Copies of this chain bind each other. A is one copy, B any other.
Amino acid sequence: MHRPQSLGFLLKEVSRRYVARFEAQARAISLTLMQCKVLVHLERTEGASQARLAEITEVEPMMMVRLLNRMEGDKLIERRSDPADRRARKLYLTAKAKPVLEEIWRLAGLVRGEMFEAVPKSDREVFARVLEKAHRNLCALERDPAAKIGASRKPRNRPQRAALA
């Protein structure tokens, strides 16, 4: 247990455990981390369309539809039709969402504290800066067609059907 491993494997593992921990704590408000993320971003962009919010939160549009369906049912958000674009729906938080947002921030701080237990402040700051830089680097690679990558399909985990050829 705890043996050092490739940084990439570790990064994925820490992320997975962080999400699990956050969601364990967030069960009291019955929200997933993604739902919380959407609420947090929506607070700063009320009136945005689903497409805009999907872009900001880096969530697939179809996933956004599902998250919003759920949260609309929970009366946390409202979809109002946009008079300027009859395709779009403008998004708003409900009054019920306000205290939920406070709780989200409380939980975020709580779990961050648990994760960084015994990590000095200066190290946390370096960590945050590196993480932000890594994010920018990876985003740039995604947009940039520079790094040549083959065009084949993503590999599967399950055994492929035995090729009958």
| Residue numbers in B under 8 Å from A70 (CB-CB) | 156-160
Contact call B154/A23, Cβ cutoff below 8 A: yes
Q: How large is the interface on A (under 10, 10 to 19, 20 to 34, 35 or more residues)?
A: 35 or more
Contact segment of A79-87, A90-98, A131-139? A131-139
Choice from B15, B25, B66, B69 contacting A11 with Cβ under 8 Å: B15
Q: In the bound complex, what is the Cα–Cα distance between A114 and B67 (angstroms)? A: 32
Whether A28 sits at the interface, judged by CB under 8 Å, is: yes
Interface string of A113-130 (1 = CB under 8 A from B): 011111100011011111
Whether A100 sits at the interface, judged by CB under 8 Å, is: no
Q: In the bound complex, what is the Cα–Cα distance between A152 and B24 (angstroms)? A: 9
Query: Given the known A-B contacts A112-B7, A127-B127, are A160 and B73 also in contact in the complex, defined by CB atoms under 8 Å?
Result: yes
